[in-house]
Amino acid sequence: MSERLIIVGGVAAGASAAAKARRMNEALEIVIFEAGPYPSFANCGLPYYVGGEITEREQLFVVDPALFGNRLAVDLRLNTRVTGIDRANSQVTFTDAEGVPGTLGYDRLVLATGTEPLVPPVPGIDGDTIFTCRTVPDVDAISARLTSVTEGGADRPEILIIGGGFIGLECAEQLIGRGCRVTLVELAPQVMGPLDPEMAWPLEEALTAAGGTVITGDAVQAIEHSDGRSVAILGSGRKLPFAFAVLGTGVRPNVALARAAGLELGTTGALRVDSQQRTSDPAIYAAGDNAEAVFLPTGTPVNIPLAWPANKQGRVAGCNAALDLAGAPADDPLRLRSTAINGTSIVRVCGMNAGGTGLTEKQATQLGRTVAVVYLGGPHHASYYPGAKPMMIKLIYDPADGLVLGAQAYGEGIDKRLDVFSVAIRGGLTVEDLEELDLTYAPPFGNAKDAAVLAGFAGANARRGIAPGLAPMDYLEGRGLDDATVVLDVRSAREFDEDPLEGAKNIPVDELRQRLDEVPKGRPLVVVCASGQRSHLAQQLLRHHGFQDVRNLYGGYRLLSQLHRMAG
């Protein structure tokens, strides 16, 4: 009789585990229990189906259910919920699609139970106008409701989005595209919590410019339903009527089954696993959003529910469980091991892209860790080639050894730069290493000096002491400044007159050599231009003429203006 691998959960991690297990062990019996009606669906694509960018519902299904049986010889049992794990007897209990209970023994078990939504304890939150966006039936229900309200005469129905993370922002974008009047409410002072505030702010601006309303620092305290209408009451007292709401307040690891079975949970509330994805029971593996990982920049446990880590962990769990059952030794070279993750992610909101990888400045502050930061703005490809659009990069590194710890960016073309920084973190590269990167270049794709390389230049030059900088948030809040500090704006006279920087002295960079006598000596200087490039040149010029304490304002006046808008 063949040995049996049972996998609980058939979406990203579970499906990956099954496919890898089959490739590693043809003799193995593999059973997947999936509580929902669909396996291996594209949950990251769900908002785009709501908005119509994904036009065909069938496009959401990554793998046809028949393929599990025909190609992988997997016994896929849909609408079947596992209700318990009997570790002593190596079996699970379940309820099948007909509601009939049963038991089935396992030789190895993989838990890929994913997440469950965080539903705030708000009166009325369970009303029939409140939806989540996590499964195909969820988006079916949202689409049906949208059709119902528009056919009922609402030209531009009012939609409430509760939560400003990935799902909330993506649903807001898509429903604005469907002609809805969208209001997004986020308890935190910013949308997209994984990013630093100034790097997330352009998403809020883009959503507002597209016609949406964004309310941060406030929360829904109650929801009233009457006569087919719903009204959300915020903590501030504001009342928001809506036709329906999408709940995007976050998720938590779905570990109820594991907890009941006595498996060890980690500090994040997810299942603690080793590098082979084994839980505290060596016969049980866990993978995906219900399992912990290690955060590479800090070496500490994290639970980051993203698709790529889930797929990778599922592959590792499936491989090692299959090798166990083939009798492979613990040190078999075919065994896979999970490595630390960076949490690399990206989102698009109404034409604005933003994302990050690794450690944020906000996290570093919470950890009490000293980091250095540079900002770099510029076009996403050669400025002379048609269609060049701006982007902004924030690079975070260790000032002691130059090790790249994290990066964030917004604008066009940021995906490939964030990927470069993610690889740099993985490879233990420094800002000096970034200077030496050999990246693709042609005018339609980038610049001869790519932004990722230029960020390395900025960080390395700061470490060498020849180009110290000042972060714009520090400038705004007066950190590192005193009454003796002189702010020198080296933009052109026209730029300065059209949009002056309060308290700054304007000497255009092209006139600076001839007007050095107008620059006070013996006083700290902060040099400013539009983006930070001309001010870098001015900084070096001043250094060579004997000015000792000269800092360049990273990101320039453009970023500073954005932060002023963000501050209100």
Q: Is the pLDDT of residue 320 over 80?
A: yes
Number of H helices, E strands in the chain: 16, 30
- DSSP string for 13-33: HHHHHHHHHHHH-TT-EEEEE
The interaxial angle of helices 414-426 and 451-464, nearest 10 deg, is 50
> Residue 264's pLDDT band (boundaries 50, 70, 90)?
very high
Whether 74 and 32 have beta carbons less than 8 Å apart is answered as yes
Token output for 186: 């986020």
pLDDT at 273 (0 to 100)? 98
38/33 Cα distance (integer angstroms)? 11
Calculate mean pLDDT across residues 347-351.
Answer: 98
Residue 430 DSSP label: B
Which residue has tokens 């029971």?
A: 281
φ and ψ at residue 95, rounded to 5 degrees: -125, 125
Residue 1's pLDDT band (cuts 50, 70, 90): low
Angle formed by the axes of helices 12-24 and 307-325, nearest 10°: 30
| Fold of the CATH domain 4-115+252-325 | FAD/NAD(P)-binding domain (3.50.50)
Picking from 342, 280, 261, the residue whose alpha carbon sits closest to that of residue 92 is: 261
Q: Hey, do 4-115+252-325 and 465-568 end up sharing a CATH topology, with the first three levels equal?
A: no
CATH class of 130-249: alpha beta
Q: Which residues lie across from 252 on neighbouring strands?
A: 116
SS (H, E, C) 275-343: CCCECCCCCEEECCCCECEEECCCCEEECCCCHHHHHHHHHHHHHHHHHHHCCCCCCCCCCCCCCCECC
- Say how far apart CA 248 and CA 166 lie, in whole Å: 8
| Digit-coded pLDDT (tens) for 33-53 | 999 999 989 989 999 999 999
pTM of the predicted model, to two decimals?
0.95
Contacts made by residues 447-452, CB under 8 angstroms, sequence distance 24+: 447/378, 447/379, 447/381, 447/382, 447/383, 448/382, 450/417, 451/376, 451/378, 451/380, 451/391, 451/393, 451/413, 451/417, 452/393, 452/417, 452/420, 452/421
Amino acid (1-letter code) at residue 335: R
Q: Domain-by-domain residue ranges, the chain?
A: 4-115+252-325, 130-249, 465-568
The percentage of the chain sitting over the pLDDT mark of 70, rounded to a whole number, equals 100
Cα 62 from chain centre: 22
- Residue 243's CB is within 10 A of a number of other CB atoms, namely 22
Please provide the CATH number assigned to the domain covering 465-568: 3.40.250.10
What are the tens digits of pLDDT across the range 151-203? 877 789 999 999 999 999 999 999 999 999 999 999 999 999 999 999 999 99
